[in-house]
């Protein structure tokens, strides 16, 4: 079958779309292959689960009341959502700039940083992903940037906080957080850096969880060199790591927090930049050169308000924290089960990864194994990881089903331990 639209991140001749027709909780339904277990929250956004009627009904009610807007308009859902986000972000945050999604949120955070500091350089990390628009992908450090270059000027990258494979050759016993001090050195030597943008926990590029003192040291380096700190919470936000925001694990206040994905649970098209007062006050008497036609669309705002209420009412963020030991225990079990093949396991909340050493043929077999079982999961050959990020409504029994599927797929590829295969 040919399709009249492009498929993203694909050779069009090789695209094999999933024919979505619905879903419920941690499962989605397809027209051709039946029900799938969703261990990826589609593309990391379905935090509240599939088929959540409370969100759908909120969108319907908003459509009946007010379905059209413009960037300069004020309406109840927009105001209520901004107030709720500021409450979640905590003391000191006073403004929200709404966007269409995560890439645009990061783009506008960079624009804000340039307008406030008068500096155009931005530092990110090599194993990072900040979005697909030209500015956002210029800041990304992964394989998707190369084919698009040249990107925007002023995009600089530093080494990652990658404790399992320290780029500075350290082990935990001798680590002095060279990853953080190196970032500070780059800021000092480069000069004129307006912002540093980091994912609190690197997501799609391997689920890299930093030590507790990494973010505080980054905050100190930014302050010492006049750079604003942006926490890219597009993937890690709204409970994914067991807190409202990933950076809250590290007791740091970024200057800006970018959000999308879990903001609406995938039920609406919306992102945002949550801005601290020390940055927001600049625009009291200076023009904010930013905004698009569908900024803060009423349906997106209604979806987000309902989604945040679902997270809170159903205790989904606490659930993500409570299930972290089970998820990490299962992933560490794979490392013990397949020595020399499954190398490292790591994660936070309901975001976990097992890093593996596999041949091209084995990667293909792993992907095929999950497809045969109708399990949606991220098989990331580029970062050498299998990544799990199920909806936050998942329970222990369903999570165990998912972990069992991972074990069974790897058993098929590598043979069951002790079987002689």
Are 239 and 317 contacting, i.e. CB atoms less than 8 angstroms apart?
yes
The more confidently predicted of residues 147 and 228 is 228
Are 104 and 271 contacting, i.e. CB atoms less than 8 angstroms apart?
yes
Q: What is the CATH number of domain 55-313?
A: 3.40.640.10
Say if residue 120's pLDDT is above 80.
Answer: yes
In the prediction, which pLDDT does 171 show?
74
Say if residue 170's pLDDT is above 90.
Answer: no
In the prediction, which pLDDT does 141 show?
87
The band of 177, judged by pLDDT with boundaries at 50, 70 and 90, is: confident
Residue 41 CB neighbour total at 10 angstroms: 29
| CA-closest candidate to residue 228, choices 266, 270, 277 | 277
Question: Residue 132 gets which letter from DSSP?
Answer: S
Say if residue 214's pLDDT is above 90.
Answer: yes
In the prediction, which pLDDT does 75 show?
97
- Average pLDDT for residues 268-285, to the nearest whole number? 98
Instruction: Provide the strand spans (E) within 199-341.
Output: 228-232, 256-259, 271-276
Return all residues near 339 (Cβ < 8 A) that are at least 6 apart. Answer: none
Torsion angle of the four alpha carbons 253, 258, 264, 265, in this order, in degrees rounded to the nearest 10: -80
Distance CA 7, CA 10 (A): 6
376 forms beta bridges with 38
In the prediction, which pLDDT does 318 show?
98
The band of 1, judged by pLDDT with boundaries at 50, 70 and 90, is: low
- Burial (CB < 10 A; 0-12, 13-18, 19+), residue 371, is middle
| CA-closest candidate to residue 77, choices 87, 86, 67 | 67
Return all residues near 324 (Cβ < 8 A) that are at least 6 apart. Answer: 242, 347, 348, 349, 350
Place of tokens 């936000």: 237
- The domain limits of the chain are 12-51+315-414, 55-313
Are 255 and 230 contacting, i.e. CB atoms less than 8 angstroms apart?
yes
pTM of structure: 0.96
Distance CA 237, CA 257 (A): 9
The band of 176, judged by pLDDT with boundaries at 50, 70 and 90, is: confident
Distance CA 307, CA 305 (A): 5
In the prediction, which pLDDT does 419 show?
58
In the prediction, which pLDDT does 194 show?
97
What phi and psi values does residue 206 have, to the nearest 5 degrees?
Answer: 120, 5
Say if residue 421's pLDDT is above 70.
Answer: no
In the prediction, which pLDDT does 2 show?
79
The per-residue pLDDT of the chain, averaged, comes to: 95
Are 216 and 249 contacting, i.e. CB atoms less than 8 angstroms apart?
no
- CB-facing half-sphere around the CA of 332: CA atoms within 13 A: 8
The band of 349, judged by pLDDT with boundaries at 50, 70 and 90, is: very high
Helix, coil or strand: residue 375: strand
- Average pLDDT for residues 230-242, to the nearest whole number? 98
Say if residue 358's pLDDT is above 60.
Answer: yes
- Average pLDDT for residues 284-304, to the nearest whole number? 96
Tokens of 206: 């391997």
Q: Where is 36: in which H helix or E strand? A: strand 34-38
CATH architecture of 12-51+315-414: Alpha-Beta Complex (3.90)
Distance CA 111, CA 115 (A): 6
- What percentage of the chain carries pLDDT values higher than 70? 99
Say if residue 14's pLDDT is above 90.
Answer: no
What phi and psi values does residue 136 have, to the nearest 5 degrees?
Answer: -65, -40
Say if residue 81's pLDDT is above 90.
Answer: yes
Say if residue 174's pLDDT is above 80.
Answer: no
The more confidently predicted of residues 175 and 247 is 247
| CA-closest candidate to residue 325, choices 355, 356, 348 | 348
The band of 248, judged by pLDDT with boundaries at 50, 70 and 90, is: very high
The band of 204, judged by pLDDT with boundaries at 50, 70 and 90, is: very high
- Average pLDDT for residues 24-49, to the nearest whole number? 97
Say if residue 271's pLDDT is above 60.
Answer: yes
- Average pLDDT for residues 342-359, to the nearest whole number? 97
Distance CA 128, CA 130 (A): 7
Q: What is the pLDDT of residues 86-112, one digit of tens each?
A: 999 999 999 999 999 999 999 999 999
């Amino acid at each position: 079958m040919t399709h009249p639209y492009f498929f993203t991140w694909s050779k069009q001749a090789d695209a094999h779309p999933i024919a979505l027709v619905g879903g419920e909780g941690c499962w989605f339904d397809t027209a051709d292959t039946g029900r799938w277990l969703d261990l990826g929250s589609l593309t990391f956004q379905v935090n509240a689960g599939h088929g959540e009627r409370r969100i759908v009904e909120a969108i319907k009610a908003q459509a009946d009341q007010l379905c059209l807007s413009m960037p300069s308009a004020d309406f109840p859902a927009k105001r209520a959502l901004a107030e709720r986000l500021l409450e979640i972000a905590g003391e000191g945050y006073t403004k929200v700039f709404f966007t269409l999604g995560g890439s645009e949120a990061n783009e506008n955070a960079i624009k804000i940083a340039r307008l406030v500091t008068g500096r155009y350089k931005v530092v990110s990390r090599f194993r990072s992903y900040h979005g697909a628009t030209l500015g956002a992908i210029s800041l990304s450090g992964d394989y998707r940037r190369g084919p698009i270059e040249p990107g925007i000027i002023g995009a600089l990258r530093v080494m990652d906080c990658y404790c399992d494979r320290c780029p500075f050759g350290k082990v935990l016993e001798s680590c002095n957080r060279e990853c953080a001090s190196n970032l500070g050195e780059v800021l000092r030597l480069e000069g004129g850096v307006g912002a540093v943008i980091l994912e609190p926990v690197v997501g799609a590029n391997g689920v890299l969880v930093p030590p507790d003192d990494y973010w505080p040291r980054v905050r100190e380096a930014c302050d010492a060199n006049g750079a604003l700190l942006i926490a890219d919470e597009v993937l890690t936000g709204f409970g994914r790591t067991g807190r409202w925001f990933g950076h809250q694990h590290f007791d740091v206040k970024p200057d800006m927090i970018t959000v999308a994905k879990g903001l609406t649970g995938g039920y609406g098209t919306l992102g945002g930049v949550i801005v601290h007062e020390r940055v927001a006050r600049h625009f009291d008497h200076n023009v904010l050169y930013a905004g698009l036609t569908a900024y803060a669309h009423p349906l997106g705002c209604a979806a987000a308000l309902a989604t945040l209420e679902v997270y809170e009412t159903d205790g989904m963020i606490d659930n993500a924290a409570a299930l972290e030991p089970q998820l990490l225990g299962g992933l560490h079990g794979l490392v013990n089960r397949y020595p020399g093949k499954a190398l490292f396991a790591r994660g936070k909340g309901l975001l976990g990864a097992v890093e593996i050493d596999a041949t091209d043929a084995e990667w293909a077999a792993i992907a095929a194994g999950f497809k045969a079982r109708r399990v949606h999961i991220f098989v990331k050959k580029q970062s050498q990881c299998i990544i799990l990020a199920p909806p936050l409504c998942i329970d222990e029994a369903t999570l165990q089903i998912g972990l069992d599927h991972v074990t069974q797929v790897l058993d098929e590829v590598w043979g069951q331990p002790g079987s002689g295969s």
